[in-house]
Amino acid sequence: MKKPNFKIYLLTAACAFLYSCESNETETNLDSRAESEKFQIINVTKHDGKPFSTGASKSLTGKYVANPGGGVMMQAFYWDVPAGGNWWNTVNGKLTAWSNAGIGSVWLPPASKAQNGAFSMGYDPTDYFDFGDFNQNGTTETRFGSKAELVSLITKAHTENMQVYADIVINHNSGGQSEANPYTGTNTWTDFSGVASGKFKRSSHDFYKNSYGNNDEGAFGGFPDLCHANPYVQDWLWGRADGVAKYYKNTMKFDGWRFDYVKGFGAWVVNQWNTNVGGFSVGELWDSNVNTLEWWANNANSSVFDFACYYKMNDAFDGNNLNVLNDDMMWKRNPYKAVTFVANHDTDEIWSKMLAYAYILTHEGYPTIFYRDYEEWLDKTKLNNLIWIHNNKATGNTSILYTDNDEYIARRNGYNGNPGLVVYINNSDSWQERWIQTNWANTQIKDFTGNSGWYPTTQADKWVKIQCPPRGYSVWSINQ
């Protein structure tokens, strides 16, 4: 959801995200290392490092198969995408290229009719069953297009063996008619008895304050606050076969859910949705406290966006203090429930974005690519390279090998025969070199980003010297 006081960045700032990673340096003599250059692992994550099941990698046949590194999600929209009903077609036209790049899922904006009709981004929902096929709120199509175009998009994504996630807004509604409210003694905009689909009609009994209480966890923006304690609301949202969740999943063929503003209702709501309907789910719990994120994910039985990681990356890459990457994050607590991201439609604070993408695409968690970063603002070739590295090399748990203000080196320890990788991020203005300990003895390695031309061979004790370009990154693994 669009948040108040959203910080707007100029498009010209995109140039700040691009940098040169070319090297003209030559490899030094690895046998001349000093013992003083060796350093110890300073952090190891506490899980088994098994591969994720949220995505897939491209096979030689052009279809997806299970991959070692897990999935990559594309947020397939940004705030105020062009109006006019063509966005579903725009996304449809990009699916094959995204699929070829190794992206395994797409997250779409709220798809149903909202109060602002053809101009709405969908976060003010009126009729959950109007996907652009009813003349309602001043329009038939939504801002994004028609129901037929949405169905075509989902069908095409599935042809590419990609998953499609629906953005679900169930904290509040908008666009109802005024009615006398017996619980407030005033008129409120809570009469949704006239929704064009004729399904999930609502009244003041279905919104706080009502017979179930005065409020729940939180309201948003003055919109009528949907009462999830009401069995009628529960039934229509996730209970009945023709309700919202099962219609989205079984008729529209969505594969999963991004739950908007989950601070506004109890974690049990998402838990019940997931128990009754299934599919992948991730919650937007806007909180940098990793304890809060972990508590919600466990109680909701859902993944959660890793805002702890997001703000630590901002401090690290924009604040010139890579030591903070030693701090706790959701992906370190439970990578299977952590969705990592660099930017989204609500927040875009990180300037050193390529360093941040190098971080999330080499580390554990389920990384998300933001549409404008990929299609407009950053170097798509570099992002595709990082996606390939993620899908093919980013396996196993994580050992942080070295950090200081400007440098960060971590090792993915590999899994099930996959060798893993070493990622080196350099936020300084000059080339850097470090001795690090790998998991590979007497083995030639290379930088799979191409930013370094070195092809060093690890020593018998698995130590090797690697390098990293200024304001850049390198990713090392076995040369095979």
Binding-site annotation: residue ranges for Ca(2+):
171
Preceding amide of 380 cis, omega within 30: no
| DSSP structural state of residue 209 | S
pLDDT in tens, 108-161: 999 999 999 999 999 999 999 999 999 999 999 999 999 999 999 999 999 999
The number of CA neighbours under 13 Å toward the Cβ of 77 is: 25
State the alpha helices, DSSP H only, in 32-180: 87-92, 95-101, 147-159
Q: What gap in Å lies between CA 51 and CA 70, rounded to an integer?
A: 6
Binding-site annotation: residue ranges:
171
DSSP per position, 301-330? TSEEE-HHHHHHHIIIIITT-GGGGGS--H
Residues whose CB falls within 8 Å of the CB of residue 224, separated by 6 or more in sequence, listed in order: 172, 173, 174, 176, 188, 189, 190, 207
pLDDT for the residue 459: 98
DSSP-based three-state secondary structure for 109: coil
pLDDT for the residue 70: 85
DSSP-based three-state secondary structure for 118: helix
Q: What gap in Å lies between CA 465 and CA 432, rounded to an integer?
A: 10
Inter-residue long-range contacts of 302-305, CB under 8 Å, 24+ positions, other chains counted: 302/259, 302/270, 302/271, 302/274, 302/337, 303/336, 303/337, 303/338, 303/339, 303/366, 304/330, 304/337, 304/338, 304/339, 305/339, 305/340, 305/341
pLDDT in tens, 251-263: 999 999 999 999 9
Residues whose CB falls within 8 Å of the CB of residue 12, separated by 6 or more in sequence, listed in order: none
| CA-derived radius of gyration, the chain | 24
Active site residues: 260, 284
Helices 353-360 and 380-393: crossing angle in degrees, nearest 10, is 20
The dihedral region occupied by 137, where left means phi > 0, alpha psi between -120 and 50, and beta the remainder, is left
Structure tokens at 277: 């309907």
Walk me through the domains of the chain, giving residue ranges and CATH numbers.
53-305 (3.20.20.80)
The answer to whether the pTM exceeds 0.85 is: yes
Q: Is 279 exposed, middle or buried (0-12, 13-18, 19+ CB in 10 A)?
A: middle
pLDDT for the residue 1: 58
| DSSP structural state of residue 159 | H
Q: Is 285 exposed, middle or buried (0-12, 13-18, 19+ CB in 10 A)?
A: buried
Given CA atoms 448, 451, 453, 455 in this order, what sign does their dihedral have?
Answer: negative
Helices 290-300 and 267-277: crossing angle in degrees, nearest 10, is 40
In the chain, which residues have pLDDT < 50?
A: 2-66
pLDDT for the residue 352: 98
pLDDT for the residue 67: 65
